[in-house]
Chain A
Amino acid sequence: MNDLDLLTAITVFVLSVLVGVEVISKVPATLHTPLMSGSNAVHGIVVIGAMLIAAESHTWPGHVLAFVAMVFGAMNVVGGYVVTDRMLEMFRARPQAGTKAGTKAGE
């Protein structure tokens, strides 16, 4: 990495924090749990890092590390998105709840 790269990386770092703060502070408390779970899925991008080290590992300890990192990362990303979707699906707007919803809720 040369100097310019480092500067760029730090710029990206700082701007990402600001964007994160700006985007998140508008989310209502109702959605805080899905938001946390959804952002949890976003940091699953670490799986790409795991893929890159899997590609460059040529020793058995390296393979083991890369394998564990792949399992962890893939679990984070897939599980995170699926569980967030499951939660948000329940927040869908319903037609004004009739008796049908009532019986279902009472199961």
Chain B
Amino acid sequence: MVSDAVHYVFLAAAACFVLGLHLMNHPRTARRGNALSAAAMSLAVAAAVWLVADEGAITRTGWLVLASGGLLGAALGLWAAREIRMTAMPQLVSVFNAVGGGAAALIAVNDLLQARDPAGTGVRVSLPGALDIVIGAVTFSGSLIAAGKLQGVVSGAPVVLPGARLLNLLLPASFVAGTVWLVLAPDSRPALYGLVAVALLFGVSMVLPIGGADMPVVIALLNAFTGSAVAMAGFVLNETALIVAGMLVSASGGILTKLMADAMNRSVANIVVGGFGTGDSSPAAAGGAPAQVRSLSADDVAIQLAYARKVILVPGYGLAAAQAQHELGALAQLLTDHGVDVGYAVHPVAGRMPGHMNVLLAEANVPYTRLKEMDDVNPEFPQADVALVIGANDVTNPAARRPGNAISGMPILDVDKARSVVVIKRSMGHGYAGLDNELYTDPRTGMFFTDAKKGLTELKTALGEYVG
């Protein structure tokens, strides 16, 4: 039977997805893992075409819909994936999240609309169907807002809707009501449309109030949501392949969300409800003590670097924002050629997505063996002659080691333990936590006030004078 054969193919594909994700645990095998997963996916899609053809229920219009929709989507996806700049990667992932969740929700909507015999639509279809609609639609609108925030189309600052508090009580309540209604009466159109509308609205009202700094966690969370939505679509269609793949993704998204939240020393609930991500719009008590800050020129920094034996580079969001990863890579190359031991310290939340900084540095040809994770690199700081911080603020603030402030307890890079510290930063502005960074007023710290891209280019030129 064709149907059986197809399901064996689906099973094999599911096994390959697991293997593919497993291979992603090392940079050397990761690409192979992705290729394996993609090959399995192509096979599964081919098998699905076979199944559809074999069942013979599809009309000519059906084929047209299938082929034209598939080609158009594939072309859009291919174009976006090829053209996107690496710094804009998180937005794109968020958009793919949105369409995945949207597709899952549409499947359930279609199923409930098409049910020819409403009485026969048991709770086994209507319950996962309702959940699919809720999760899928929330992910769809939520992910689009997240992508908009990262792209700067929607304000990155937390936006609080009027009556947000009431809305956040009412919307979840209407989910429950709508879901129960839809389960009791699967053919009820008002329940179906109402649920879709409420879920879309909730996605918007959930993500809008979250500040830009928390977007990495939100994207991971929405990825987990899409996975669950796809798994629910699997229950609706009675396709185990969708359940397996969906839950794999959901579990991975869930773990990433937890890791990210831990790296910021915050709970997921705290982020979703809106916590210190809101600080970026309200500058904390201004002042500081500019007199205590030591300002450096490119030449000062170049001399320090040229005579160092060990330099640790600490790239942060400022580097990503200025898209200065290539300049940093070039500077590091020059230092390495000169015989300086250069390492990169990467905080787990540097960049705009978990591990985003690693991708940016990889793009700038930095070998991944040079990229060190926080726990590995922290013991190395005391041996470093210079720690060069580029646009990282909160993740280097020693205040985190003391209780009683917004970032207390957050794991940080021990930059202040290096023999000397240079910070490239545009101004004394605050990070997302709205705190003064005590590192900047430390006597061993020098500030190089400039744009990351411009500063690194100047540094490279100045360094060329000494090592050339």
Contact residues of A with B, CB < 8 Å? Answer: 1, 5-6, 8-9, 12-13, 16-21, 23-59, 61-63, 65-94, 96-97, 99, 101-102, 104-107
Contact = CB atoms under 8 A, between A and B. Distances in A.
B44 interface: yes
Contacts of B27: 30-31, 88, 91, 93
15 contacts: A9-B240, A21-B254, A28-B25, A31-B30, A34-B34, A35-B355, A45-B44, A49-B242, A74-B69, A75-B77, A76-B100, A76-B103, A78-B73, A78-B78, A102-B333
B256 A32 contact: yes
B288 to A, nearest CB: 32
Given A34-B359, A40-B249, A83-B89, A65 B100 contact: no
B356 A33 contact: yes
A106 B65 contact: no
Nearest to A93: B28
B164 interface: no
Nearest to B82: A82
Given A24-B255, A66-B66, A45 B242 contact: yes
Contacts of B240: 8-9, 12
Interface stretch (B266-274, B367-375, B386-394): B367-375
A97 B230 contact: no
A91 B370 CA distance: 12
Contacts of A107: 326
Given A29-B358, A45-B245, A91 B31 contact: yes
A49 to B, nearest CB: 5
A43 B233 CA distance: 11
B18 to A, nearest CB: 6
Given A13-B231, A35-B256, A65-B109, A46 B100 contact: yes
Interface residues of B, number: 127
Contacts of B73: 47, 70-76, 78
Nearest to B246: A43
A39 B253 contact: yes
Given A38-B34, A42-B21, A90 B97 contact: no
A9 B243 contact: yes
A25 B365 contact: no
A55 B34 contact: no
Nearest to B327: A106
Given A31-B355, A81-B37, A93-B28, A45 B241 contact: yes
Contact of A52 (B239, B259, B364): B239
Contact of A79 (B49, B92, B122, B333): B92
Given A43-B100, A43-B245, A29 B337 contact: no
B80 A79 contact: yes
B286 interface: no
A54 B106 contact: no
Interface in B204-228: 219-220, 223, 226-227
B20 interface: yes
B282 interface: no
Contact of A32 (B38, B52, B61, B354): B354
Contacts of A44: 41, 96, 100
Contacts of A73: 73, 99-100, 103
B176 to A, nearest CB: 22
B118 to A, nearest CB: 15
B175 to A, nearest CB: 21
Nearest to B122: A1
Contacts of B77: 74-80, 82
Contact of A36 (B44, B81, B230, B354): B354
B57 interface: yes
Interface in B53-79: 55, 57-59, 61-62, 65-66, 68-74, 76-78
